[in-house]
């Protein structure tokens, strides 16, 4: 089962700047061979369910090891059985309808 | 790694009423032995990361089998290493501070 | 336009315990006369769109005044035109289908 | 108060394809003069709180008028008082740390 996910990991208790944790997550996702797209409020990920979820777990474990005592994460995730759809398809299906 | 999750599964392309799919999810989570708490915009779940995530995957697979061609899910999930915390603890920590 | 919302406000840069900020939000929502239901990963709110949104804004302003330099909030919100539905209706529509 | 938002509007009860509703939202946000960035699981928006929220409300009203009886929306939104930060700043703060 393929999934398209929007992942936003927020470490708590490590001060106001969280970009180094986002960088660490990004590296974990890349090493896992997942297709990712960084945006201003999270990272979009495309891949097989189990691989994506394993990477999300690794992000949590790694960020705790980096010293964050608490993490709150917001995820949106979509699956469909009617047809294959990539992240690029999703954006294109909107962009082609914009004048 | 223990997780507290808020899960909201939305089947798309099956009309306006989605309660039977929420019921099916609830049964999957219960059969998995997970502690759950239904609320008006999702279900809170408490358990070990792998068990919770396996149940979420089963919800998606099952809802597709029930006929939903597309699912979009919103998840909030929290982990912490500083101390154990249950769903009940979280609610109590607020309620005891309310007059 | 009536809305049912799930609100989860996370102050960043104020340490690991955030319950006093959740309490402050809860008091703002109550003073606004909104129907609320606290759960383990947020607060459900029911009311008119403008009143609910004004209260959410007041939560952000107040939490900043309490000293939080940064806030990240996750919201789910639902509107419908086919029929009136309360938070209680939503929970009941699932619970009556559970054995 | 400036806000950076991630907005994902999901019309329910209108079938499996929702791109025309996303297009309509995008046009509303653009006409409101808001800075937006479309991605594969939503739209990022930057602007003053009241203007952004007014546009979100208009999206809901307009999508109902287009015929969707039910809408469920997921929003992430961030405010900060320690410094100004744009969507571009957020992405850059991560990208500059990636080798």
Digit-coded pLDDT (tens) for A46-94:
999 999 999 999 999 999 999 999 999 999 999 999 999 999 999 999 9
β-sheet bridge partners, residue B2? B48
Rounded (5°) CA angle C55-C61-C65: 140
pLDDT, mean of residues C64-68: 97
Do A74 and C70 make contact, defined as CB atoms within 8 angstroms? Answer: no
Cα dihedral value A34, A39, A41, A45, nearest 10? -20
Mean pLDDT, chain A, rounded, equals 96
pLDDT, mean of residues C51-72: 98
What is the model's pLDDT at position A98? 85
pLDDT, mean of residues C56-78: 98
Number of H helices, E strands in chain A: 3, 4
Q: Which residues in chain A are contacts of D88 at CB distance < 8 A?
A: 40
Q: Per the structure block, which two tokens stand in for D95?
A: 């990208």
Do C40 and B44 make contact, defined as CB atoms within 8 angstroms? Answer: yes
Q: Are C1 and C48 in contact (CB under 8 A)?
A: yes
Numbered residues of chain B with Cβ closer than 8 Å to any chain C Cβ: 4-6, 8, 16-17, 19-20, 22-23, 26-27, 37-42, 44, 46, 74, 76, 78, 80, 82, 87-88, 90-91, 93-95, 97-98
Angle between helices B49-65 and B19-31 (to 10 degrees): 140
Residue to test with chain D: of A23, A40, A91, most D Cβ within 10 A: A40
List Cβ neighbours of A20 (8 Å cut-off, separation of 6 or more).
A66, D97
- Which chains touch B (3+ CB pairs under 8 A)? A, C, D
List Cβ neighbours of D7 (8 Å cut-off, separation of 6 or more).
D25, D42, D43, D44, D45, D56, D59, D73, D75
pLDDT, mean of residues C55-84: 97
What is the model's pLDDT at position A99? 67
DSSP E strand stretches across B1-99: 2-12, 35-39, 42-48, 70-80
Give C89→chain B minimum CA distance, Å. 8
Q: Nearest chain B Cα to D70, which residue? A: B16
Mean pLDDT, chain D, rounded, equals 96
Position D98 confidence tier, pLDDT thresholds 50, 70, 90 = confident
What is the model's pLDDT at position C99? 67
Interatomic CA distance for residues C47 and C4, integer angstroms: 7
Residue pLDDT, tens place only, A16-28 = 999 999 999 999 9
Q: Which residues in chain D are contacts of C64 at CB distance < 8 A?
A: 79, 81
List Cβ neighbours of B16 (8 Å cut-off, separation of 6 or more).
C80, C82, D12, D13, D69, D70
Give D41→chain C minimum CA distance, Å. 15
pLDDT, mean of residues B65-71: 97
Give A99→chain B minimum CA distance, Å. 27
Numbered residues of chain B with Cβ closer than 8 Å to any chain A Cβ: 1, 13, 49-50, 53, 57, 60-61, 64, 69-82
List Cβ neighbours of B92 (8 Å cut-off, separation of 6 or more).
none
* ipTM for this prediction: 0.95
Do B26 and C98 make contact, defined as CB atoms within 8 angstroms? Answer: yes
Do B4 and C76 make contact, defined as CB atoms within 8 angstroms? Answer: no
Share of chain D above pLDDT 90, in %: 96
H or E stretch at A72:
strand A70-80
Position C98 confidence tier, pLDDT thresholds 50, 70, 90 = confident
Q: Are C10 and C72 in contact (CB under 8 A)?
A: yes
Interatomic CA distance for residues D43 and D63, integer angstroms: 16
Q: Which residues in chain D are contacts of A79 at CB distance < 8 A?
A: none
What is the model's pLDDT at position B99? 67
Give B65→chain A minimum CA distance, Å. 9
pLDDT, mean of residues B36-45: 97
Q: How would DSSP label each residue in A5-26?
A: EEEEEEEESS-S--HHHHHHHH
**Looking at the predicted structure, is the pLDDT value of residue C65 above 80?**
yes
What is the model's pLDDT at position B71? 98
Residue pLDDT, tens place only, D26-70 = 999 999 999 999 999 999 999 999 999 999 999 999 999 999 999
């Amino acid at each position: 089962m393929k999934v398209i996910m929007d992942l936003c990991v927020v470490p708590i208790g490590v001060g106001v700047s969280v970009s180094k944790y986002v960088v660490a997550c990004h590296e974990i996702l890349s090493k896992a061979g997942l297709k990712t797209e960084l945006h201003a409020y999270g990272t979009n990920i495309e891949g097989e369910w189990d691989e994506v979820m394993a990477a999300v777990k690794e992000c949590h474990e790694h960020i705790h090891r980096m010293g964050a005592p608490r993490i709150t994460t917001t995820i949106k995730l979509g699956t469909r059985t009617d047809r294959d759809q990539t992240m690029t398809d999703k954006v294109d299906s909107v962009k082609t309808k914009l004048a």
